[in-house]
Amino acid sequence: MPTNLVINGEDRISTRGSMTPLIDVLRDEFFLTGAKVACREGICGACTVHLDGRPVVSCLVPLATVEGRDVRTVESLAAAGEPSPLQQIMEEHDVVQCGMCFPGILMVLTSFFQERPHAERDDIKAALVGNICRCTGYERLVDAAAALARRS
């Protein structure tokens, strides 16, 4: 049975099987390759997207459970062609190394800052415990996020 979902504001229909992980639908069917797939077990956070506004690891979301729901991927952050303030500050601080972890980190921090715009450094670190950066670029990443919190 096809699954109807709204991805980055657009109605989409997926024909994949009901237990297909959402990450595979996003990447292989709709070519939204921003979200990465690494561990497939909820540990690394590289596949994080927003489902109805909340961050989830899309490797563990079966397609059929997304019927009629709102999915946002990292591609939606610069929808008007202009990077979001979070993306801009990450660029200013030259945070990205290989970039594998980065889309997930942006999605987690985007929703975190919606709730906690003035968060402290320790809270930012706690918010990121589910995002593993194999290049270990945590220091600049947290510096950049803390700078954004100070600015807002």
Partner 1 sequence: MPASTGERLYVATSLADAVAALADRGPAGAPLAGATWIMRAPIRREELRSSYVGIGGIAELRSVEMTDDEIHIGACVTHADLIAALAGVEGCDGLVAAAGGAANPAVRQMATVGGNLCTSDFPASDLSPALLCLDASVELRTPSGQERVPLGRLLDIRRTLEPGTLVTGVVIARKPVQTGHSRLPLRKAGDYPVAIVSMAVALGSDGLIEDIKVAVGSVEASARRWPQLEAQLLGHPLDPAKAYELAKAGVGVFAGRESVEAPGWYRVQVLPTLVRRAAQAALAARQQR
Name the residue among 30, 32, 19 with its Cα closest to residue 61: 19
Name the residue among 151, 130, 44, 128 with its Cα closest to residue 140: 128
Packing angle between helix 85-92 and helix 138-151, nearest 10 degrees?
Answer: 130
**Residue with the shortest CB distance to ligand FAD:** 42
Interaction site with ligand FAD (CB under 6 A): 41-43
Minimum distance of ligand FES from residue 104's CB (angstroms): 7
Written as one letter, the residue type at 148 is L
The interface with partner 1 within residues 53-72 (CB under 8 A) comprises 54-57, 59-62, 64-65, 67
> According to the binding rule CB under 8 A, does residue 135 interact with partner 1?
no
The nearer residue to partner 1, 51 or 148, going by C-beta atoms, is 51
| C-alpha span between 148 and 3 (Å, rounded) | 38
**Binding-site ranges for partner 1 (CB under 8 A):** 1, 17-19, 21, 40-45, 48, 51, 54-57, 59-62, 64-65, 67, 108, 112, 127, 129-130, 132
